[in-house]
C-alpha cells in the first residue's frame, strides 16, 4: 500500500504550526561524572504538544542518553512526575503552550528523593512509606460468600482519596519531606485515609497508630503545596486534616 506524501503547500502549512523552544534539562550521568549540569536543547514542536513529547523528541532524535520515566502517557500511571518550570507536574499533562514557551522550559527531577540519573529518582523510600500504612482492605472472620456491600454515602466518604496514582508529586512538593525524608509524606497519608474511612475496613485504629508516630501526620505544616501539586485534583491537605481529627476524636 502506497504511503501518501504531502505536497509542498501542505508541508508548509504543517510546519507553520511549529514553534522553536528551548528545553533546559537538569542532567546527571553518574557513569560519566558526579557533577550535575544543565543542558539546553532547541527544537521545533507544535505548541499543543506536551512536555513529554518534547522529551521524546530530544531522546529519539537528539540525545539518546537522556533518561526519564514514562509509561501510559495519559495521566494515569503517574510515572512521569517531574519539576517543570519549578512546579511538580506530569509531563504527559503539561502542554507546551501553557508554560510560556518563549522562555527556556526547565525540566528537573522531583525533590526529596535521591536522583539516580537525569530525571529518574529512587522511588523506594516513597513506596516504603506507602506500604507501611497498610494500603489494603483488612477484615476479620471468614471469607464472605457475597460481595461486601456499601452504601453510596459510605463510598462517598473516601471517594476523593481513591484517585491517587502514586506519582509522588504531592510528597515531593512538601518542604517537610525535603528537610527530612523520614516523614511519611502526603501520598502515604492519603492512601491511609482511603482505608481508614472505608466502612468495610477493620484496621482503622492500627493505621491511625502508625500515623501517630513522630514522622506521621503531625509533621504536616499545612502549606497546601501537596494539594496544589496533585495532578488528579485530590484535596490532599483536607485529607491529612481529617486523619488528624480522627486521631484526636477516634471517630471515623
**3-class secondary-structure state, position 187:** helix
171 neighbors 226 (Cβ within 8 angstroms): yes
H or E segment and range at residue 210: helix 204-211
Please report the pLDDT score of residue 17 as a whole number: 87
**3-class secondary-structure state, position 227:** helix
- pLDDT tens digits along 76-119: 999 999 999 999 999 999 999 999 999 999 999 999 999 999 99
pLDDT reading at 9 higher than 70:
no
pLDDT reading at 1 higher than 70:
no
Nearest to 81 by CA among 112, 57, 45, 38: 112
Question: CA of 215: how far to CAs of 91, 99, 121, 144, 182, in Å?
Answer: 30, 35, 22, 36, 6
Mean pLDDT computed over 201-216:
95
Prediction pTM value: 0.89
Q: What CA–CA distance (Å, rounded) separates 208 from 189?
A: 10
83 neighbors 126 (Cβ within 8 angstroms): no
pLDDT reading at 14 higher than 80:
no
- pLDDT tens digits along 44-72: 999 999 999 999 999 999 999 999 999 99
Count how many residues are written for the chain: 252
pLDDT reading at 194 higher than 80:
yes
Angle, alpha carbons 77-78-80 (nearest 5°): 115
Percent of the chain residues past pLDDT 90, beyond the cut: 86
Mean pLDDT computed over 36-45:
97
Please report the pLDDT score of residue 18 as a whole number: 96
Angle, alpha carbons 195-170-151 (nearest 5°): 25
Specify burial of residue 110 (Cβ count, 10 A radius: 0-12, 13-18, 19+). buried
Amino acid at each position: 500500500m502506497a504511503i501518501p506524501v504531502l505536497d509542498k503547500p501542505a508541508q508548509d502549512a504543517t510546519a507553520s504550526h511549529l514553534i522553536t523552544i528551548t528545553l533546559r534539562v537538569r542532567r546527571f550521568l553518574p557513569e560519566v561524572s558526579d557533577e550535575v549540569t544543565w543542558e539546553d536543547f532547541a527544537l521545533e514542536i507544535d505548541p499543543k504538544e506536551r512536555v513529554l513529547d518534547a522529551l521524546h523528541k530530544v531522546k529519539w532524535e537528539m540525545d539518546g542518553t537522556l533518561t526519564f520515566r514514562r509509561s501510559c502517557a495519559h495521566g494515569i500511571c503517574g510515572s512521569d512526575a517531574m519539576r517543570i518550570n519549578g512546579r511538580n507536574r506530569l509531563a504527559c499533562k503539561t502542554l507546551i503552550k501553557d508554560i510560556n514557551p518563549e522562555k527556556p522550559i526547565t525540566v528537573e527531577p522531583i525533590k526529596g528523593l535521591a536522583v539516580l540519573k537525569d530525571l529518574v529518582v529512587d522511588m523506594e523510600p516513597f513506596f516504603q512509606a506507602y506500604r507501611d500504612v497498610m494500603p489494603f482492605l483488612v477484615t476479620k472472620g471468614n471469607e464472605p460468600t457475597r460481595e461486601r456491600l456499601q452504601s453510596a454515602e459510605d463510598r462517598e466518604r473516601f471517594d476523593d482519596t481513591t484517585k491517587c496514582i502514586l506519582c509522588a508529586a504531592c510528597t515531593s512538593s512538601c518542604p517537610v519531606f525535603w528537610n527530612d525524608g523520614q516523614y511519611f509524606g502526603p501520598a502515604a497519608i492519603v492512601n491511609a485515609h482511603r482505608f481508614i474511612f472505608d466502612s468495610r475496613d477493620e484496621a482503622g485504629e492500627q493505621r491511625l497508630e502508625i500515623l501517630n508516630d513522630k514522622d506521621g501526620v503531625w509533621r504536616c505544616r499545612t502549606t497546601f503545596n501537596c494539594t496544589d501539586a496533585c495532578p488528579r485534583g485530590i484535596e490532599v491537605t483536607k485529607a491529612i486534616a481529617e486523619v488528624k481529627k480522627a486521631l484526636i476524636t477516634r471517630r471515623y
